[in-house]
């Protein structure tokens, strides 16, 4: 009898939702710490399983409970392998950090008990997506991720954000409909909702239907990933959400789309499609990836809203991940299981690692932007500048985030991008279609450096616009007093703690990614 560890990861935040709410009634700060503690406990629980995953023969840890016996005895089955463990860990870290960040950032806003309760609910859905091996439960969690996000963006967002929230809801829900179609078709074909059981049975199904299932699932997940041309919901929602929510949305929620493509589209459905279609499908993904990377970079290059810039950079990075996904070894198409530790799968290790590193870096990026906005009450980067001397802590963490996003070593995103590219060159050997996409993706890194440096230069470096106008203000005494009142200070302590954690993580993964790489390498597909 194993301990119900994964069930606890599910149950603890679920049960805590009302308690978080009532704690929040007494003190919002206590509620924030409550949510952070739940995330911390869950991190501990997931970490306690990691040795089991590394040591066991199949590198998978499973738990299964009776759930809906009437529906073909659907079970509440949970599992954890190297990939889901890494992504779940980074999601929990971001929830922990976002909760701490909210203490200062959300202070003084209305309805905070609901905010923290929704955050707790979000963490159930978010982590559940990575933990489950049951398609029905997966879809349940997938939607659970969306509902709290809608309310958080709408209620506590910037300006009339219910419109942005609605946009977020409509788009991702439309995507979810496609996912539901795909899942329904899998159930129809195989009569089971267990992913890994379905996988073996799909191999015998007619390839024509499988083709459409693959397209439906991938298109649905692509909306969550916000790749071009279904990206339109992202810039509005991510830039208008409160900063902790932006960090979660951009950091892990859109990456959940990438995870789902790997897990469902590639892990379950892909081995069953014919090799010819599979290859072309991957080509299409790589084209989408390249276009997305350039599109996001171009828009980030001229964006003037601090959070829109980062939101566009998220689109660009989803392009990288999409490109990495398209490198899924052609070998899989023939139905052979591919162990990621094999040399030809470096690109996939890199892609999964990029989900992790991008989450940490982008979370840090959005939280820094949130800190800057909170302290300066400004969101137009053309009106910023000279913050380096006033907000040294924020400047250091923001610069680290920007450089990591730009792929500068020794920071986290560099190592994963490096692995993606090295893997891409290996794929070129097998299939020379990838020469052009790889070369273009390499060029795209120059643009990501350009927009990151533009961010650092405009926001932190240079001279403050207030100082430039200070002499005029001096003439008017009341203006001068106003300037004093607006004296910009560095961010408060809880923000510092949360930024500090992510800074350490980004630098640490950059120098020594071995923990995550060892974990990811154990994943087996097919």
Write out the binding residues for other proteins, residues 397-416 only, by CB under 8 A. 403, 408-410, 414-415
Please name which of 105, 106, 101, 142 lies closest in space to residue 125, comparing C-alpha atoms: 142
3-state secondary structure of 60: strand
CB atoms within 10 A of CB 440: 17
Nearer to other proteins, 36 or 373 (CB): 373
The mark string for 107-126 relative to other proteins (x by CB under 8 A, - otherwise) is -xxxx---------------
Residue found by looking up tokens 């049951």 in the block = 134
396: how many CB neighbours lie within 10 A of its CB? 16
Give least dist CB 392 to other proteins, A. 9
| 215 vs 323: CA distance, rounded Å | 17
Of 141, 149, 70, 75, the C-alpha closest to 115 is 149
Q: How far is the CB of 76 from other proteins (least distance, A)?
A: 32
Using the rule CB under 8 A, is 487 a contact of other proteins? no
The minimum distance between CB 222 and other proteins, in angstroms, equals 6
How many whole angstroms separate alpha carbon 521 and alpha carbon 68?
A: 34
Question: Among 282, 146, 145, which residue's Cα sits nearest to residue 214?
Answer: 282
Decide: is 288 part of the binding site for other proteins (CB under 8 A): yes
Q: What is the secondary structure of 161-224 as a DSSP string? A: HHHHHHHHHHHHHHHHHHHHHHHHHHHHHHS--BHHHHHHHHTTS-HHHHHHHHHHHHHHHHHH
**By CB under 8 A, what part of segment 128-147 binds other proteins?**
none
454 or 524, CB closer to other proteins?
Answer: 454
203, 284, 493, 504: which one contacts other proteins (CB under 8 A)?
A: 284
Binding residue for other proteins, selected from 81, 194, 305, 466, defined by CB under 8 A: 305
For 242, phi then psi, to 5°, come to -60, 150
In the list 8, 197, 449, 473, the residue contacting other proteins (rule: CB under 8 A) is 449
Say if residues 440 and 323 touch (Cβ distance below 8 Å): no
| 158 belongs to the binding site for other proteins (CB under 8 A) | yes
Among residues 76, 140, 283, 393, the one that binds other proteins under rule CB under 8 A:
283
Are 327 and 347 spatial neighbours (Cβ–Cβ below 8 Å)? yes
**Would you say 48 or 463 has its CB closer to other proteins?**
463
Which of these, 511, 487, 513, 490, lies nearest to 398 by C-alpha position?
A: 490
Query: Minimum distance from CB of 399 to other proteins (Å)?
Result: 8
- The binder of other proteins chosen from 1, 57, 66, 159 (CB under 8 A): 159
Residue 463 interacts with other proteins (CB under 8 A): yes or no: yes
Residue 306 backbone phi and psi in degrees, to 5:
-55, -40
- For other proteins, the closer CB: 40 or 461: 461
State which residue, 8 or 291, has the beta carbon closest to other proteins. Answer: 291
Residue 468 touches other proteins, criterion: CB under 8 A: no
Question: 177-216: which residues touch other proteins (CB under 8 A)?
Answer: 178, 215
Contact pattern from residue 216 through residue 255 relative to other proteins, giving x for each residue in contact according to CB under 8 A and a dash for the rest? ---x--xx-----xx-xx-xx-------------------
* Residues whose CB falls within 8 Å of the CB of residue 110, separated by 6 or more in sequence, listed in order: none
Among 29, 75, 167, 238, interactor with other proteins by CB under 8 A: 167
Tell me, residue by residue from 48 to 87, as one string, x for binding to other proteins by CB under 8 A and - for no binding.
----------------------------------------
* Residues of span 317-376 touching other proteins by CB under 8 A: 341, 343, 373-374
Residue closer to other proteins by CB (options 96, 228) is 228
| CB atoms inside a 10 Å sphere around CB 37 | 14
Q: Which is nearer to other proteins, 6 or 117 (CB)?
A: 117
CA distance 419 to 441: 13
Binder to other proteins among 126, 253, 388, 459 (CB under 8 A)?
388
The correct pick among 19, 76, 166, 187 for binding other proteins (CB under 8 A) is 166
Range list of H helices, 335-469: 346-376, 387-390, 392-405, 412-430, 435-459, 465-468
Instruction: Give DSSP secondary structure letters for 4-44.
Output: -HHHHHHHHHHHHHHHHHHHHHH-HHHHHHHHHHHHHHHHH
Q: How far is the CB of 293 from other proteins (least distance, A)?
A: 13
Per CB under 8 A, which of residues 503..522 are in contact with other proteins? Answer: 512-514, 517-518, 521
**Interface characters, 426-445, with other proteins (x: CB under 8 A):** x-xx-x-x----xx--xx-x
Of residues 138 and 434, the one with the C-beta less far from other proteins: 434
- Number of chain residues interacting with other proteins (CB under 8 A): 97
**Contacts of 387 by beta carbon, 8 Å cutoff, 6+ apart:** 372, 376, 394, 395, 459, 460, 464, 488
Contact present, 236 and 162 (Cβ < 8 Å): no
The two structure tokens encoding residue 430? 């097998």
């Amino acid at each position: 009898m194993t301990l119900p560890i994964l069930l606890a990861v599910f149950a603890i935040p679920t049960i805590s939702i009302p308690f978080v709410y009532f704690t929040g009634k007494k003190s919002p700060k206590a509620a924030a710490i409550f949510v952070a503690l739940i995330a911390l406990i869950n991190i501990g629980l997931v970490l306690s399983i990691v040795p089991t995953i590394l040591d066991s023969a199949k590198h998978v840890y499973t738990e299964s409970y009776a759930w809906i016996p009437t529906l073909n005895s659907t079970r509440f089955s949970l599992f954890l392998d190297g990939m889901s463990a890494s992504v779940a860990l980074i999601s929990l870290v971001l929830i922990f950090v976002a909760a701490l960040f909210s203490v200062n950032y959300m202070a003084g806003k209305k309805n905070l008990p609901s905010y923290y309760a929704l955050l707790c609910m979000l963490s159930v859905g978010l982590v559940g997506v990575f933990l489950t091996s049951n398609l029905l439960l997966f879809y349940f969690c997938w939607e659970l991720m969306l509902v709290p996000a809608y309310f958080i963006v709408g209620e506590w967002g910037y300006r009339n954000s219910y419109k942005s929230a609605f946009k977020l809801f409509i788009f991702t829900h439309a995507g979810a409909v496609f996912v539901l179609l795909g899942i329904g078709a899998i159930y129809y074909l195989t009569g089971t909702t267990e992913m890994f059981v379905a996988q073996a049975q799909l191999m015998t199904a007619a390839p024509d239907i499988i083709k459409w299932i693959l397209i439906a699932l991938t298109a649905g997940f692509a909306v969550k990933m916000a790749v071009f041309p279904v990206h339109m919901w992202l810039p509005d929602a991510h830039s208008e959400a409160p900063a902790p929510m932006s960090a979660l949305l951009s950091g892990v929620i859109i990456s959940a789309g990438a995870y789902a493509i790997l897990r469902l589209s590639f892990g379950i459905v892909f081995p069953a499609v014919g090799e010819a279609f599979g290859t072309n499908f991957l080509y299409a993904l790589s084209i989408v990836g390249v276009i997305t990377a350039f599109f996001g970079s171009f828009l980030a290059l001229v964006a003037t809203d601090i959070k829109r810039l980062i939101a566009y950079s998220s689109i660009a990075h989803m392009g990288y991940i999409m490109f990495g996904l398209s490198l899924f070894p052609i070998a899989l198409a023939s139905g052979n299981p591919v162990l990621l530790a094999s040399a030809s799968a470096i690109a996939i290790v890199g892609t999964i690692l990029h989900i992790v590193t991008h989450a940490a870096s982008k979370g840090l990026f959005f939280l820094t932007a949130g800190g800057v906005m909170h302290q300066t009450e400004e969101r137009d980067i053309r009106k910023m500048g000279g913050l380096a001397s006033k907000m040294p802590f924020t400047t250091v963490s923001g610069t680290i985030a920007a450089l990591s996003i730009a792929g500068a070593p020794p920071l986290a995103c560099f190592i994963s991008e490096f692995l993606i590219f090295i893997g891409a060159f290996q794929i070129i050997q097998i299939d020379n279609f990838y020469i052009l996409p790889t070369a273009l993706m390499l060029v795209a890194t120059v643009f990501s450096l350009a927009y990151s440096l533009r961010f650092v230069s405009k926001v932190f470096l240079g001279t403050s616009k207030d100082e430039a106008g200070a002499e005029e203000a001096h003439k008017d005494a009341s203006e001068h007093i106003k300037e004093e009142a607006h004296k910009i200070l560095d961010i408060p302590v809880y923000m510092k703690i949360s930024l500090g954690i992510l800074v350490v993580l980004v630098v640490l993964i950059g120098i020594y990614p071995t923990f995550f790489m060892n974990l990811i390498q154990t994943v087996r597909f097919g």
